[in-house]
Amino acid sequence: MEKSTLRLMSTRTYGAQSMVAPLREVLVKRPGEAFARAFDDPAHGFLHEVDLAAAQREHDVLCTLLADLGATVHELGEEYDPDLTYTFDPALVTDRGVLPLYPGKPNRVGEERVIERWMNEHGVPTVGRLEGGARAEGGDTFWLDERTLAVGRTLRTNRAGVDQLTSILQPEVEVEVYDVPFWRGAAELVHLMSVISPVADDAAVVFLPLLPCGLHEDMLARGIRLIEVPDEEYLTLGCNVLAVSPGVVIAAEGNPVTRKRMEHAGCDVHVFEAGEVGVNGSGGPTCLTRPVMRG
């Protein structure tokens, strides 16, 4: 490897244009008082009244796992709304810096400014912002490779959002767009990453019944092995899996079939109880983490 490349790797402090490269720096938000009140407003979409102590215990276990597996965990101390605990959605971190998004879920508007402020304060510059009627959420984005971003067009990410993301990211990044099924509408929203989680360079966990056909075709063309989530484990976050390095993953407890299938595919699977911090608010280990640096 050339010396210039080594210097770049040793001095880089942000950039996460991968879903599976080693997770070095990650931003989380421990559930707080806003999270505790989430069930009070049906717009947040929580399933039942929150047990804050249980949610915090579960989140603490996740953070311990992240640290034990080599990531530096940064805590976002600011309170805003319940969904800010799911730090993946409000922003995208590229090799050029942070791109604050504009949530399609009304109560989440403003979270992107909180994340952007933290990033700027920690040396991550802003590369652009969505304007006008553009809407996009991080759950509708994932990296097919370091130069290709998959974007789902959903009830939270619209055509204008896709167009502006493309304009901001090009020419360094190519954007591939996939339409995600309507399924049961806004009340049980499907993000693109609700149906796929890359777990290695050549493997992804998928929920086939809702996977866009175009994405299915492209994954197979890339030689990606598809690890299928059974119907009974979809709503318990079986498809929401975080890779902390290729083949080393964190998943929600309670999905034994998916876990066995990942292990059979060669994955080292670490699980944590996520019933209160995850299933209740419909956000798993990927949703609960915003990678700041990978690689």
Q: CATH code at 119?
A: 3.75.10.10
What's the pLDDT at 12? 86
- Is 76 contained in some domain? yes
- Is 254 contained in some domain? yes
Query: Does residue 7 carry a pLDDT above 80?
Result: no
Q: Phi/psi at 175 (nearest 5 deg)?
A: -110, 125
Residue 292 CA to residue 72 CA, distance in Å, equals 10
What's the pLDDT at 187? 76
Query: Does residue 4 carry a pLDDT above 80?
Result: no
pTM here is: 0.93
What's the pLDDT at 184? 87
What's the pLDDT at 10? 53
The mean pLDDT value for 132-161 works out to 97
Residue 183 CA to residue 159 CA, distance in Å, equals 19
- Is 9 contained in some domain? no
The mean pLDDT value for 50-79 works out to 97
- Is 2 contained in some domain? no
Residues spanned by the domain of 31: 15-294
Query: Does residue 161 carry a pLDDT above 70?
Result: yes
Mean pLDDT of the chain: 95
Per DSSP, 201 falls in state T
What's the pLDDT at 137? 97
Q: In what order do the strands lie in the sheet with 148-153?
A: 141-145, 148-153, 174-179
Mind listing the pLDDT tens digit for each residue in 71-101?
Answer: 999 999 888 999 999 999 999 999 999 999 9
- Is 86 contained in some domain? yes
Q: Measured in Å, how far apart are the chain's first and last C-alpha atoms?
A: 15
- Is 4 contained in some domain? no
- Is 158 contained in some domain? yes
Mind listing the pLDDT tens digit for each residue in 224-267?
Answer: 999 999 999 999 999 999 999 999 999 999 999 999 999 999 99
What's the pLDDT at 140? 98
Q: What percent of the chain has pLDDT over 90?
A: 92
What's the pLDDT at 8? 45
The DSSP bridge partners found for residue 62 are none
- Is 3 contained in some domain? no
> How many domains does the structure of the chain reveal?
1
